Amino acid sequence: MTIHIEVWLYGPLAKYGGSNDNISALRRVALPEEATVQDLLDHLAMPSEERGITFINGNLSAMPGLQPDLPHRLGDGDRVAFFHTKSMWPFQYRHDVAMVSEFKETVGQREDAGRRTRFDTIA
């Protein structure tokens, strides 16, 4: 069986959606039923480290330096939004944001409880 994913790519990531404008691109992707976020990135030929904030169906799944969503299984009709690492996310929206289970579990184990925007700078 095949699943269909709607993928939004913002900023410089738009090039992975076939756009040259560095603003945004929309791709509709067909993947095998067992596909994960890693499979989607492979399909787009997009290195995971190029993405910043990522949402799956409106739920936060990754931020720069913290990408526990790679094994997250996608479902038919899912909407995925990839933002470039230079994209900003207003601080007031960071608390109590809906998260995919992999991200919530990982952030819950951190001393800072996810209050930092770039996780690669934390020892």
pLDDT 10s digits, 55-90: 999 998 988 888 999 999 999 999 999 999 887 665
What pLDDT score does 122 carry?
A: 37
Q: Kindly report each contact of residues 27-31 with a partner whose C-beta sits within 8 Å and lies 24 or more positions away, as own/partner.
A: 28/4, 29/4, 29/5, 30/2, 30/3, 30/4, 30/5, 31/2, 31/3, 31/5, 31/74
Domain ranges of the chain: 2-121
Q: What is the mean pLDDT of the chain?
A: 84
CB 10 within 8 A of CB 42: no
Q: What is the CATH number of domain 2-121?
A: 3.10.20.30
The model's pTM is 0.79
Look at residue 117 in the predicted model and tell me its pLDDT.
47
pLDDT in the model for residue 10: 94
